[in-house]
């Protein structure tokens, strides 16, 4: 499986990367939270010297002014300063896939928002949801690569865990559409679903299945408390990245950063 290197951070090399989400409504709230996160990350990294937070995910769907290009750019510049030594991931999660409900219907402008982020090089990585439509997804991925940005292509299912074949087909589509990192997050309805996702991650990352069409690092997560193992057993399974939290999490079952550092 191909490794992906972004500013000396290598995904898919057997060392799972830790991503911490950042969210808030106003600029002031977001920057205040970012300052608290920065201090906590520095504190924990001083204790757990072999662990590092590699990626900060800005969840733009929570931001009140996400539909304002200038305000969005100014905020991203500020986050760049605070997290200058980390990768910055820009995510606008749609309502259908668990994003924050927006009254201004900003997600109807998602192509414009992606364009602003890409042309302004506001982040190192951009999250693009697979179900946004093949043409829109492929076009955004091409533009991101032309700008020197990388693409996480994602799918989130809050109702069930898809069958293995369906997940493999989504990964195939992501590869075709230009993903650099492939991500699936789903909701388990039984312990069997969690076990199945652990095994599927192992099988794909080891090349046992899908090796003829899955070439990039994968992220497979079972959400909720019952799926916590998929977040902390990444070294065993080959999952390229895990998501942890400082304070409130952005998805069901996210584990606090300190606990993650002790278990990962």
Residue 63 marked in a binding site: no
Asked whether residue 98 carries a pLDDT value surpassing 90, the answer given is: no
State what percent of residues in the chain have pLDDT above 90: 89
pLDDT for res 249:
54
Residue 93 marked in a binding site: yes
pLDDT for res 250:
53
Residues recognised as catalytic: 156, 183
Q: What is the pLDDT of residues 224-241, one digit of tens each?
A: 989 999 999 999 999 999
Asked whether residue 76 carries a pLDDT value surpassing 90, the answer given is: yes
pLDDT for res 233:
96
32 vs 99: which has the higher pLDDT: 32
- The pLDDT of 91-103, averaged and rounded, is 85
Q: Where are the beta strands (DSSP E) in the chain?
A: 4-6, 9-11, 17-22, 53-59, 87-91, 125-129, 150-157, 181-186, 218-222, 241-245, 255-256
Residue 59 marked in a binding site: yes
- The pLDDT of 78-89, averaged and rounded, is 98
SS3 assignment for 35-89: HHHHHHHHHHHHHCCCCCEEEEEEEHHHCCCCCCHHHHHHHHHHHHHHCCCCEEE
Residue 105 marked in a binding site: no
- Crossing angle of helices 164-177 and 191-205, rounded to 10°: 40
What residue ranges define each of the domains in the chain, with the CATH number in brackets? 4-252 (3.20.20.70)
Residue 261: band (very low, low, confident or very high) from pLDDT cuts 50, 70, 90:
very high
pLDDT for res 100:
87
Query: How high is the mean pLDDT of the chain?
Result: 94
Asked whether residue 25 carries a pLDDT value surpassing 70, the answer given is: yes
Contact 119, 149 (CB under 8 A): no
């Amino acid at each position: 499986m191909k490794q992906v290197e972004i500013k000396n951070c290598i995904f898919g090399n057997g060392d799972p990367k830790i991503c911490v989400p950042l969210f808030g409504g106003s600029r002031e709230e977001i920057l205040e939270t970012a300052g608290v996160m920065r201090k906590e990350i520095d504190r924990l990294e001083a204790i757990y010297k072999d662990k590092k937070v590699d990626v900060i995910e800005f969840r733009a769907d929570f931001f009140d002014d996400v539909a304002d290009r200038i305000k969005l750019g100014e905020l991203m510049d500020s986050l760049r300063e605070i997290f200058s030594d980390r990768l910055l991931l820009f995510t606008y999660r749609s309502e259908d896939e668990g994003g924050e409900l927006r009254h201004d219907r900003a997600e109807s402008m998602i192509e414009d928002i992606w364009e602003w982020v890409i042309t302004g090089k506001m982040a190192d990585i951009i999250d693009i949801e697979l179900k946004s439509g093949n043409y829109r997804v492929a076009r955004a991925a091409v533009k991101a690569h032309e700008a020197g940005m990388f693409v996480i292509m994602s799918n989130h299912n809050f109702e069930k865990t898809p069958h293995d074949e369906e997940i493999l087909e989504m990964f195939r589509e992501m590869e075709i559409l230009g993903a650099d990192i492939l991500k699936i997050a789903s909701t388990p309805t039984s312990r069997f679903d969690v076990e199945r996702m652990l095994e599927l991650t192992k099988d794909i990352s080891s090349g046992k299945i899908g090796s003829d069409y899955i070439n990039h690092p994968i992220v497979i997560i079972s959400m909720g408390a019952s799926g916590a193992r998929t977040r902390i057993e990444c070294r065993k399974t080959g999952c390229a990245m895990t998501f942890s939290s400082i304070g409130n999490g952005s998805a069901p079952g996210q584990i606090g950063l300190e606990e993650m550092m002790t278990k990962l």
